[in-house]
Amino acid sequence: MMRKKRNDRNYVIYQVTAATGDTYIGLTVSRGRAFLRSVKIRWQKHVSRAKCENKNWNFCQFLRKNNDVEFTYEILEVVRGRKPAYSRERELIAEIQPTLNTF
């Protein structure tokens, strides 16, 4: 018997702000109720991807060029369900207009 695909997971929408004032809005799957920890793990993946993969995305380019800049990250919202989370992320990107998101 096949398991039904889960659609009730929590997703964390977060904002990363560089000391330069540049911002990035992202989304990650929540690991239990540890929302900030989930963002920290996702942040490590961003940094690793910027260093190890030759992605041409704005955020990766910024991380490569500004590896000594301090960053802060904050949780904007926690949304239940994949589709609503991705939809809300797009709304927040349109509303806030972060400088480091690739459109």
Q: Which two tokens stand for residue 59?
A: 């955020």
Give pLDDT, residue 33: 87
- Token match 């964390």: residue? 12
Please, how many CA atoms are within 13 Å of residue 25, restricted to the half-sphere of its CB?
Answer: 20
Q: How far is CA 82 from CA 9, 13, 63, 86, in A?
A: 7, 11, 27, 6
Q: How far is CA 80 from CA 5, 13, 37, in A?
A: 14, 11, 17
| Residue-level pLDDT at 37 | 94
Which parts of the chain register pLDDT below 50?
A: none
pLDDT at 59: 93
Q: What is the pLDDT at residue 4?
A: 66
CA-to-CA distance for 101 and 47, rounded, in angstroms?
Answer: 15
